[in-house]
Amino acid sequence: MNTVTLKVSAKINLSLDVTGKYDNGYHEIESIFQSVGIYDTLTVTKLDSPEIVISCSDPDVPCDKRNIVYKAAELFFRETKIIGGAQIHIEKEIPSQAGLGGGSSDGAGVLYALNMLYDTGLYGRKLTELGGKVSADTAFFTVGGTAYVRGIGEEIQSIRYIPKVDMVIAKGASGISTPEAYSKIDRLVSPIHPETQKLLKAIDKGKFLSKCKLCQNIFEMVTDLKDVTNLKRQMMENGAMTSVMSGSGSSVFGIFPDKESAMKCADILKEKYPFATYCRAVPNSIIIE
């Protein structure tokens, strides 16, 4: 086997809270992550020479050492002590600066693909630990599904998978800087924290849809983008049961009672925003083509 093609999913935060800050400057979070059916496609090819070559369908994505994919591949060869290389092509569908984890997901996909190509046996916990050295979100994407996440994102506990929930995810033209968003969180006085534990119990009892209004995101308290406010409003006006920003922004997801109402809303939003799509919750982050 010299080439592997796989699809890697986006994720949303069904709940996201910042519960503290460590001495090293990292923030402590409490969150529920969910893989969703929006995918980048990666084609990874073995190279005999020790080089990492990246190409991407999106010209705005850097194809050098700034890309998480490069960092993931570099880490793989360093940790396994394999002298080899990889050519990696990314077909982007997951929007950037959206709070959907697209870059981290690509990183997890590359680790998975290289593990297959070089037959290194890094599955399960070993692959997750390696992903955690790339980024906290990359660690999640090696697991996927529905997960309760704590610490800086490295404490990942798989929980009961929510049903194949119908949803719409949309993003305006503006992005949000994650460091800037966390800086604003640090300046909050008496923030209102999401009820993550209540949402966890609802998911555990199989009652996610009836309790989906418990989906909340503390970063909405420091976000002043009109697109976020307008998207939330328009989703609710078009049948959403709830609508919440994902991650530090700037994408917004809406949970819908059925596919028909979700698709109708997605079609309306596509006329107004650069990214809007119908999708569903999915049980895995990585699909081998």
Catalytic residue list: 11, 137
Ranges of H-type helices in 119-194: 125-132, 136-141, 178-186
Query: CB within 8 A of 281, min separation 6: which ones?
Result: 34, 35, 36, 37, 146, 161, 162, 163, 164, 165, 167
Residues 6+ apart with CB under 8 A from 257: 166, 209, 239, 241
The 10 Å Cβ neighbour count of residue 65 is 10
Q: Which residues pair with 52 in a beta bridge?
A: 86
Question: For residues 178 and 285, what is the distance between their CA atoms, to the nearest angstrom?
Answer: 23
CB 102 within 8 A of CB 72: no
The tokens 């979100």 sit on which residue?
137
**To the nearest 5 percent, what fractions of the chain are helix, strand and coil?**
35, 30, 35
Helices 102-118 and 125-132: angle between axes, nearest 10 degrees: 130
Decide if 145 contacts 79 (C-beta within 8 A): no
Place of tokens 């418990």: 214
